């Protein structure tokens, strides 16, 4: 599912200070591709991800997902948009501590009219044998796998990943990237990854660089590096 | 929804908190349902007994016998049913058994067991008297020197509240009972028996002109309408009083439970901000999450109410029987199901829980998912106006930390304040009631009424009373413009047998200036010293305006005391006439004696019932403590949970558990103390208001002063309760791990 953003602007008011988080950001995310948005803290990459995901609103410009604009959508319509199209993966996993692995994934499955099979999904993320464990019994990498399974089982068109490896060590982080690549290739899911880890850009079809709320560079990789081989920073 | 599992696990994990709220709810519903059901049963039994067994509309005692032809004449003239009934007060060991002739028209006896007495040596007694005196059917009992066989157990509709004198306050079935005997038995006792005429009308009203017609024929020694007869009326008063209490007490507990649910839910939502944000980001609809969180209220509400309904319904059966025994009502029905009570008991708590929870959750769900996903805006460091007060910025770190915690959780402070207040008022109600009974006996029967016996005559006396006797006139008077009847006493101002005391000041000499009222009479009329009231004679149309010279500490009955010659003149009696005497020596029952009041028996009745009062006071105190422990423990537990990162940090820094406990847990001690201090006058005031509002029906007022011992004992109980709840929460505090602070930092 392709995403088009045109001159998107977003301003925050923090006390007496006005922060321009996005300044006329424009981009095109091609369907069924992996796109990484790179940039330092405060560059506006999370804000861009959030407005595309419909959990935040933009002030000006336009975002069109699969031919439908997000302009002026009401809360309920945004909820339906997220429910049907978006899978979210957070840096801190955000699993429900009182539910097991399988039940956490079930939380995502309930939202979909066309979910993937449970066993299959857990197998794909390598968590089938730990499906009865609770989040506190898992490592960070394992928790992120569960979070991916939770997003994936909905069979979403777009997977939005907010620093998915930010809290993980190199080996575990690379395993997660392999998983995201696998999801993209197997299910044709558009994957949008925001990260400050420059190396992750090497595995993406397209790389977008941001700075101070602006998109400063967009390029496509001619050759894709295997996630195992990305330069970890 | 899979989230249901999360809810169930959270409920299990926090079982103490949620079970505590459920328990509060259970107590509220159990109390409401059991009391309401018992009152419904009591009301139904009373209504059926009154109607089916033709309870009298009035009765009167003539000074001379009235023959049956005259009664028939009045029946035809006034469309009234009249029936003469004789009775004899027989001594049975230390008790008095009032034996009635069997009636056929009015006040029909209900035989619960056995058979009616038919011959000259048989008797049927009231079942509660039999129980208290260990009498069984077939047993023989000696009555006035004759052996009589108990053939059955009987109830009379005009002795539902079984008191010997109309002025008696307490029913004591061990000392006084009723019985019926055959005509032949009553004939044997005819020389010593009394006769009263009972009347019944279909509309329950005394026919116009009836009293005048009777008065034209004979002197009326006593005329009592059913509405003024405590033996009949007291059960209605109790039903009305119980109905208002049934709602008030459970409502308070329900409010505490509801407030606790709100606090818990707010806390849960606060803790699960990120979870809610994640779920919203994933695409969960707000109403789906609302339903999920309402699940907590459903579980708490349903478990509390359903168990409460079951417990309440079960408890209502023994409670109904207790009431029935107390009121001498036959068990015409066992369990009167009132669907409204069940509906209210179920619906109101549930609706309250759900709506409050929905309100609390709705506020959180209105927030954008992104805001929920971010850490909550840090408010630490911002000072409220309370914290800026110079007083709160002085003292050691510990003191300032505690004060800051206190003022930053105003809702919790308020909750603790109200919870302690509720328990204190309940506790002090018990103490005051307990103490009042003693004070009432002491003041009314020992300090004020110093006579031992009151002898009431069948007709007016004019000759000089015997030495040691002091004459007085008694009669009923109405107060113009008020729907109130007073018992008028015309007394000698210098009588040694009545000391009209008001705060230890004797008011007898004030009688020259006007009338002295009993405390209930002043409350009913709403008048005080210096105000005028106009009395009307209920037997003629005479009027007399008198000034209230004072209000005496007579707590039982609506009495007005006047000089005898003034009262006689008002009643139209000769100046030196009297209808009764007070004396210290035990009187002989002469032919002209209508009734003898033995003051010691009245006091004994009070003392006999003090055991029951003590039990109810203990029950009330236990109840107050249970509520208090639940409320305080739930709150302190919540405080530990909320402050676990700080607790953990203090531990990491090297604070001991006891020091951390002082910092965090016992922070509400000043609130508890303040609430207690404010509750002391509040309890006296509330009970005083309650007494005043019920005085018209009950006819008595209990002194509601809170003495020092009550305040001290209450303080000890409340502080022990507080200490117990702190001790319970200390266990939770000890369990807070040292990693908690680190985890919070990571979040």
Tens digit of pLDDT for each residue in B625-648? 888 888 888 888 888 888 887 888
Burial class (CB in 10 A: 0-12, 13-18, 19+), B104: exposed
Q: Kindly write down the DSSP assignment for every residue of B174-227, as one continuous string.
A: TTEEEEEE-HHHHHHTTTT-EEEEEEE-TTSSPPTTHHHHHHHHS-EEEEEEGG
Residues 6+ apart with CB under 8 A from A186: A124
- Residue (of A5, A4, A9) closest to A212 by Cα position: A9
d(CA B2, CA B20): 26
d(CA B639, CA B648): 13
Phi, psi values for residue B672, rounded to 5°: -60, -45
Q: Which residues of B touch A (CB under 8 A)?
A: 1-3, 5-6, 9-10, 13, 274-275, 277-286, 368-370, 373, 747
Give percent of chain A with pLDDT exceeding 90. Answer: 55
- Residue (of B353, B267, B277, B364) closest to B14 by Cα position: B267
Taking residues A134-138, what's their average pLDDT? 92
Check CB contact under 8 Å for A79 and B280.
yes
Radius of gyration of chain A from its Cα atoms, rounded to whole angstroms: 17
Check CB contact under 8 Å for B5 and A98.
yes
What pLDDT is attached to residue A193?
A: 94
CA distances from A156 to A83, B283, B400 (A): 8, 11, 53
From chain A, the residues in CB contact with B278 under 8 A are: 88, 90, 94, 96
From chain B, the residues in CB contact with A98 under 8 A are: 5-6, 9-10, 13
Residue B369 has its nearest CB partner, among A55, A99, A106, at A55
Residues 6+ apart with CB under 8 A from B485: B228, B476, B477, B478, B479, B538, B558
For chain A, domains (ranges, CATH) are 30-57+74-229 (3.40.50.300)
Structural contact between residues B639 and B729, judged by C-beta atoms closer than 8 angstroms: yes
Low pLDDT (below 50) residues in chain B:
378-381, 745-747
d(CA A36, CA A205): 8
Mutate: best of A15, A83, A90, A98, partner B, most B CBs <10 A: A98
Q: Is the backbone of residue B162 left (phi > 0), alpha (psi -120 to 50) or beta?
A: beta
Phi, psi values for residue A116, rounded to 5°: -80, 160
In angstroms, what separates the C-alpha of B685 from chain A's closest C-alpha?
50
What pLDDT is attached to residue B590?
A: 74
Q: Which residue has the tokens 């002194």?
A: B703
Per-residue buried b or exposed e for B548-586, using 16+ beta carbons within 10 Å of the residue's own CB: bbbbbbbbbbbbbbbbbbbbbbbbebeeebbbbbbbeee
What pLDDT is attached to residue B636?
A: 84
By CA distance, what is B11's nearest residue in A?
Answer: A98
Taking residues A64-72, what's their average pLDDT? 89
d(CA B387, CA B407): 7
What pLDDT is attached to residue B380?
A: 45
**Interchain CB contacts (distance < 8 Å): A and B:** 70
In angstroms, what separates the C-alpha of A93 from chain B's closest C-alpha?
9
Q: How would you classify the pairing of strands A68-69 and A60-65?
A: antiparallel
From chain B, the residues in CB contact with A79 under 8 A are: 280, 283-286
**Where in chain B are the domains?**
1-54+243-377, 58-234, 409-446+600-747, 453-585
Residue B82's SS3 state is strand
Mutate: best of A78, A107, A115, A160, partner B, most B CBs <10 A: A107
From chain B, the residues in CB contact with A87 under 8 A are: 282
Instruction: Record the pTM.
Output: 0.73
Residues 6+ apart with CB under 8 A from B321: B331
Residue B548's SS3 state is strand
Per-residue buried b or exposed e for A134-145, using 16+ beta carbons within 10 Å of the residue's own CB: bbeebebbbbbb
What pLDDT is attached to residue A204?
A: 94
């Amino acid at each position: 599912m392709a995403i088009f953003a045109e001159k998107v602007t977003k301003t925050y008011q923090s006390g007496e200070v006005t922060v321009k988080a996005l300044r006329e950001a424009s981009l095109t995310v091609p369907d069924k591709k992996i796109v990484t948005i790179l940039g330092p803290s405060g560059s506006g990459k999370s804000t861009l991800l959030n407005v595309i995901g419909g959990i935040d609103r933009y002030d000006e410009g336009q975002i069109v997902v699969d031919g439908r604009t997000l302009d002026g959508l009401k809360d309920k319509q945004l909820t339906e948009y997220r429910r049907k199209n978006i899978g979210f993966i957070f840096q801190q996993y955000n699993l429900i501590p009182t539910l097991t692995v399988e039940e956490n994934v079930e939380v995502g499955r309930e939202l979909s009219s066309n979910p993937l099979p449970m066993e299959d999904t857990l197998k794909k993320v390598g968590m089938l044998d730990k499906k009865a464990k609770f989040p506190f019994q898992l490592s960070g990498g394992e928790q992120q796998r569960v979070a991916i399974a939770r997003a994936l089982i909905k069979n979403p068109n777009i997977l939005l990943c907010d620093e998915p490896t930010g809290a993980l060590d190199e080996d575990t982080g690379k395993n997660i990237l392999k998983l995201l690549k696998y999801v993209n290739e197997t299910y044709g899911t558009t994957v949008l990854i925001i990260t400050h880890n420059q190396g992750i850009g090497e595995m993406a079809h397209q790389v977008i660089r941001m700075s101070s709320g602006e998109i400063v560079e967009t390029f496509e990789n001619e050759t894709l590096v295997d996630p195992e081989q990305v330069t970890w920073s | 929804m899979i989230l249901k599992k999360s809810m169930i696990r959270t409920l299990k994990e926090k079982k103490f908190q949620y079970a505590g709220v459920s328990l509060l709810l259970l107590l509220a519903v159990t109390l409401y349902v059991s009391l309401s059901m018992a009152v419904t049963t009591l009301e139904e039994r009373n209504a059926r007994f009154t109607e089916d067994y033709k309870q009298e509309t009035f009765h009167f005692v003539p000074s001379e016998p009235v023959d049956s032809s005259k009664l028939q004449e009045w029946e035809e003239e006034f469309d009234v049913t009249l029936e003469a009934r004789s009775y004899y007060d027989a001594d049975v060991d230390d008790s008095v058994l009032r034996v009635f002739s069997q009636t056929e028209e009015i006040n029909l006896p209900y035989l619960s067991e056995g058979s009616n007495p038919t011959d000259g040596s048989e008797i049927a007694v009231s079942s509660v008297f039999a129980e208290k005196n260990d009498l069984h059917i077939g047993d023989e009992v000696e009555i006035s020197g004759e052996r009589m066989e108990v053939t059955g157990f009987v109830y009379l509709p005009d002795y539902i509240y079984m008191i010997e004198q109309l002025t008696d306050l307490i029913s004591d079935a061990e000392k006084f009972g009723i019985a019926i005997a055959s005509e032949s038995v009553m004939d044997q006792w005819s020389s010593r028996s009394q006769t009263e005429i009972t009347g019944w009308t279909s509309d329950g009203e005394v026919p116009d002109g009836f009293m005048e017609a009777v008065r034209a024929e004979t002197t009326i020694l006593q005329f009592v309408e059913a509405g003024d007869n405590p033996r009949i009326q007291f059960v209605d008063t109790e039903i009305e009083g119980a109905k208002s209490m049934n709602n008030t007490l459970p409502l308070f507990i329900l409010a505490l439970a509801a407030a606790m649910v709100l606090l818990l839910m707010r806390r849960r939502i606060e803790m699960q901000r990120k979870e809610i944000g994640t779920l919203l980001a994933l695409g969960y609809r707000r109403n789906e999450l609302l339903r999920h969180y309402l699940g907590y209220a459903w579980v708490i509400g349903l478990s509390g109410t359903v168990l409460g309904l079951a417990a309440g319904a079960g408890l209502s059966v023994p409670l109904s029987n207790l009431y029935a025994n107390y009121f001498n009502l036959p068990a015409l029905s066992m369990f009167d199901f009132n669907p409204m009570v069940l509906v209210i008991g179920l619906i109101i708590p549930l609706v309250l829980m759900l709506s409050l929870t929905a309100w609390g959750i709705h506020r959180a769900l209105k927030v954008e998912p992104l805001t929920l996903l971010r850490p909550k805006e840090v408010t630490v460091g911002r000072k409220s106006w309370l914290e800026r007060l110079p007083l709160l910025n002085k003292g050691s770190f510990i003191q300032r930390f505690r004060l800051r915690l206190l003022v930053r959780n105003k809702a919790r402070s308020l909750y603790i304040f109200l919870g302690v207040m509720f328990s204190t008022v309940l506790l002090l109600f018990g103490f005051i009631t307990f103490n009042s009974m003693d004070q009432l006996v002491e003041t009314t029967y020992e300090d004020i009424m110093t006579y031992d016996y009151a002898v009431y005559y069948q007709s007016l006396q004019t000759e000089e009373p015997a030495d040691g006797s002091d004459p007085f006139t008694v009669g009923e008077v109405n107060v113009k413009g008020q729907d109130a009847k007073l018992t008028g006493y015309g007394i000698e101002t210098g009588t040694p047998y009545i000391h009209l005391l008001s705060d230890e000041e004797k008011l007898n000499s004030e009688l020259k200036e006007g009338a002295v009222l009993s405390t209930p009479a002043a409350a009913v009329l709403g008048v005080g010293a210096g105000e005028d009231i106009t009395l009307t004679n209920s037997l003629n149309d005479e009027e007399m305006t008198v000034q209230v010279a004072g209000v005496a500490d007579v707590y039982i009955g609506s009495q007005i005391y006047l000089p005898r010659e003034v009262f006689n003149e008002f009643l139209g009696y000769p100046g030196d006439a009297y209808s009764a005497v007070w004396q210290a020596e035990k009187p002989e029952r002469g032919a002209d004696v209508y009734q003898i009041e033995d003051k010691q028996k009245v006091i004994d009745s009070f003392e006999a019932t003090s055991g029951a009062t003590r039990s109810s006071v203990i029950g009330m105190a236990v109840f107050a403590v249970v509520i208090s422990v639940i409320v305080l423990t739930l709150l302190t537990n919540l405080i530990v949970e909320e402050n676990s990162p700080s607790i953990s940090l203090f531990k990491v820094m090297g604070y001991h558990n006891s020091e951390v406990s002082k910092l965090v847990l016992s922070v509400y001690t000043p609130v508890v103390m303040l609430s207690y201090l404010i509750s002391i006058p509040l309890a006296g005031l509330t009970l005083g208001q309650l007494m005043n509002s019920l005085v018209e029906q009950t006819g008595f007022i209990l002194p509601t002063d809170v003495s020092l011992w009550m305040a001290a004992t209450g303080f000890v109980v409340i502080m022990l309760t507080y200490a117990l709840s702190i001790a319970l929460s200390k266990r939770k505090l000890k369990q807070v791990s040292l990693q908690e602070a680190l985890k919070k930092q990571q979040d």
